[in-house]
Structure 1
């Protein structure tokens, strides 16, 4: 089912959102001061191309024992740069694609996926794209450790 939904996403406009993310990735590579954003761009590019079966999760959720000070402290500054340079227009692209996709009955699941990615597009620094099963296992482990 994931494969069918990913193909549907691609056909119904996912290739356009992915191209937007690829453009942001290339610009972040070209501009020297945005190089730290390149990893986040690439991660969300993968999510935009294949939203079903993958999930964006914060690195602190994946590895709570090794909290990353750079992501925690410097991540906020990077996210502000991100928002000003790329985040707002990528968010609008995903919202627009989601609205267009939700007009047809068959495109509703893909549109909902685009709305989720739109929220991630605003503040992507520190997120990694992993299979859904890995994200669920990390959250379950964190919940178990928190409530022991």
Structure 2
């Protein structure tokens, strides 16, 4: 039954929020890859694009090997693209929260904001993975 609920939520999400957000992340990723130096941000943006297309049943955890480079990269990302993508998530969440069926989707929008702000040093894993509940990919 949980699987069916996730599927229904993902389909509704895909139609109402997933496609526009994924296109925004894809655009940011293409721009980052064109600039060569920012390819790591482009790859992270593509990873998030796949996540925002079908988020229910997956979660985001910290990579245990993330270090200072990820932190510095995230600060640059926030200034260049992260803040604009967060504004998109907030606007989409506000629009979704108007309807009763949209409230869980609006909550999901807000939960995506941390990976939008700091994509480097994070990993997307299935929610039912043993270590997903610990918030760290290193715990097994």
How far, CA to CA, are the matches of 2:106 and 2:35 in structure 1? 32
Match of 1:3 in 2: 7
Q: Which of structure 1's runs of 4+ aligned residues deviate more than 4 A?
A: 138-142
Residues 82-123 of structure 1 show CA distances to partners (whole Å, capped at 9, x for unaligned) of 111110000110111011001110111111111111222111
The counterpart of 2:36, out of the listed 8, 26, 32, is 32
In the superposition, relative to structure 1, how do residues 138 and 109 fare at CA in structure 2: closer, same or farther (>3 Å)?
closer
Q: Normalization by structure 1: what TM-score?
A: 0.83
More helix by share: 1
Q: Normalization by structure 2: what TM-score?
A: 0.87
Q: Secondary structure at the match of 1:104?
A: coil
Q: Gaps (5+ residues) in structure 2?
A: none
Q: Does 1:121 align with 2:119?
A: no
How far, CA to CA, are the matches of 2:133 and 2:103 in structure 1? 27
Instruction: Give yes or no for contact 1:92–1:118 (8 Å, CA) kept in 2.
Output: no
Q: Secondary structure at the match of 1:52?
A: coil
Q: Gaps (5+ residues) in structure 1?
A: 61-67
Q: Secondary structure at the match of 1:33?
A: coil
Residues 115-140 of structure 1 show CA distances to partners (whole Å, capped at 9, x for unaligned) of 11122211111111111012x43545
